[in-house]
């Protein structure tokens, strides 16, 4: 299907983009890689009068290092993140999760910022953002910026802390240098969205788990962080028996969907299996 007619604007700075959003209000829609927005426009689930393309704004592109943080521009493509040595070294679980997203064509167009703002609970970027305790930088209508912790960013299904007239500009990630990492994604066929996914990153010391972070994909209306499991893992040896016991309650309090890929109880069972596998792999066991 062909989208309804719209005007097109390609600002060259965040300032210009924010001004355009203020001028056009809810008649405007921001375009990043278009991998979620364009299908929506083609199905006419949304028909904005104007599309504001962020693709010509250099300040939203690329990965940089600021002291003990990595800073990823919202318009950085999945492919650019995968090519980044800095992300592989300091935020490995993000690289590993992105490696499982869709196919190379989509990874060359889709952006990390677009995926985070789209906030599909089956998307693979939210769980690593939680596990890495990322912070999301949002530029507002008055030109001011605010920073929101990943845990406060995802508010509901397809809903984030980015409000009307605002843009996500950067993702700030504390460096997790030396942490082991793994993303365990369960799908029926390749290139599918996660039925369930688990992002795990682990710091080991003297053969035991010293710190662990676990994020869950598609176990509720938003990505979730499994804090009680993280606490239970601390001090445990990275053995199958110890990790199995520590992650047994990972699905407690979650509310995963039921659909043609599996019902809610099946997903809860999957989450315990995948979390064990992800933690053991992250710990190098
Ligand atoms: C066939 C197919 C398979 C896929 N499989 C997977 C998969 O396995 N795993 C997975 O995680 N994802 C998958 N995706 C989704 C893909 O990851 C998308 O790229 C991503 O969801 C959106 O990123 P985008 O840059 O294309 O954003 P767009 O589609 O351009 O935008 C998405 C939404 O975010 C808003 N937006 C974008 N950037 C900003 C910003 N900086 N500030 C404010 N608002 C913004 C837009 O207005 C829009 O509402 C798949 C997509 C397709 C088409």
Mean pLDDT of the chain: 96
What is the percentage of the chain residues whose pLDDT exceeds 90? 95
Q: Quote the DSSP letter at residue 42.
A: H
- pLDDT value at residue 23: 95
Q: Which atom of ligand 1 is nearest to the CA of 39?
A: 53
- pLDDT value at residue 141: 80
Q: Cα of 273 to ligand 1 centre, how many Å?
A: 28
Q: Is 106 in the pocket of ligand 1 (CB under 6 A)?
A: yes
Supply the pTM of this predicted model. Answer: 0.97
Q: Cα of 136 to ligand 1 centre, how many Å?
A: 16
Q: Cα of 111 to ligand 1 centre, how many Å?
A: 7
Q: Cα of 109 to ligand 1 centre, how many Å?
A: 9
Q: Which atom of ligand 1 is nearest to the CA of 110?
A: 19
Whether residue 142 is predicted with pLDDT greater than 90 in this model: the reply is no
- 68: number of Cβ within 10 Å: 10
Vertex 10 angle, CA 8 and 12, to 5°:
165
CA gyration radius, the chain: 19
Q: What are phi and psi of 147, to 5 degrees?
A: -120, 130
Q: In what order do the strands lie in the sheet with 63-66?
A: 63-66, 69-73, 167-174, 135-139, 145-149
Vertex 147 angle, CA 22 and 251, to 5°:
115
For 54-108, how does the pLDDT look when each residue is reduced to its tens digit (9 = 90+)? 999 999 999 999 999 999 999 999 999 999 999 999 999 999 999 999 999 999 9
Q: Cα of 145 to ligand 1 centre, how many Å?
A: 22
Q: For a substitution probing ligand 1, which of 16, 29, 36, 73 has the most ligand atoms within 8 Å of its CB?
A: 36
Q: What is the rounded CA–CA span in Å between residue 21 and residue 52?
A: 8
Q: Which residues have C-beta within 8 Å of that of residue 170, sequence separation ≥ 6?
A: 60, 71, 72, 73, 74, 136, 137
Q: Quote the DSSP letter at residue 148.
A: E
For 93-118, how does the pLDDT look when each residue is reduced to its tens digit (9 = 90+)? 999 999 999 999 999 999 999 999 99
Q: Cα of 116 to ligand 1 centre, how many Å?
A: 8
Cα of first residue to Cα of last residue in the chain, in angstroms, is 49
Whether residue 1 is predicted with pLDDT greater than 80 in this model: the reply is no
For 267-278, how does the pLDDT look when each residue is reduced to its tens digit (9 = 90+)? 999 999 999 999
Q: For a substitution probing ligand 1, which of 8, 106, 165 has the most ligand atoms within 8 Å of its CB?
A: 106
Q: In what order do the strands lie in the sheet with 180-186?
A: 180-186, 196-205, 208-217, 224-225
Q: Is 34 in the pocket of ligand 1 (CB under 6 A)?
A: yes
Cα 163 from chain centroid? 18
For 183-235, how does the pLDDT look when each residue is reduced to its tens digit (9 = 90+)? 999 999 888 899 999 999 999 998 899 999 999 999 999 999 999 999 999 99
Q: Which residues have C-beta within 8 Å of that of residue 83, sequence separation ≥ 6?
A: none
- pLDDT value at residue 31: 98
């Amino acid at each position: 299907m062909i989208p309804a007619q719209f005007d097109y604007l390609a600002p060259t700075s965040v300032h210009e983009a924010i001004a355009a959003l203020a001028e056009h209000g809810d008649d405007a829609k921001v375009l990043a890689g278009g991998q979620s927005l364009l299908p929506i426009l083609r199905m006419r689930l949304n028909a904005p009068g104007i599309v504001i393309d962020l693709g010509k704004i250099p300040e939203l592109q690329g990965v940089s290092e600021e002291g003990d943080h990595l800073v990823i521009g919202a318009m950085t493509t999945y492919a650019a993140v995968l090519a980044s040595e800095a992300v592989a070294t300091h935020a490995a679980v993000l690289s590993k999760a992105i490696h499982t997203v869709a196919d190379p064509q989509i990874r060359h167009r889709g952006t990390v910022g677009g995926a985070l703002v789209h906030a599909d609970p089956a998307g693979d970027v939210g769980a690593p953002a939680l596990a890495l305790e990322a912070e999301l930088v949002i530029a507002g209508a008055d030109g001011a910026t605010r920073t929101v912790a990943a845990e406060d960013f995802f508010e509901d299904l397809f809903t984030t802390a980015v409000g009307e007239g605002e843009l996500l500009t950067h993702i700030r990630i504390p460096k997790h240098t030396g942490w082991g990492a793994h993303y365990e994604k369960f799908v029926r066929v390749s290139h599918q969205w996660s039925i369930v996914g688990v992002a795990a990153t682990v710091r080991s010391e003297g053969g035991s788990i010293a710190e662990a972070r676990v994020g869950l994909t598609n176990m509720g209306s938003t990505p979730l962080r499994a804090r009680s499991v993280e606490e239970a893992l601390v001090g445990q040896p990275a053995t199958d028996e110890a990790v199995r016991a520590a992650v047994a309650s990972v699905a407690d309090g979650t509310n995963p969907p039921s659909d043609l890929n599996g019902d809610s109880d099946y997903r809860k069972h999957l989450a315990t299996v995948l979390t064990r596998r992800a933690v053991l792999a992250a710990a190098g066991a």
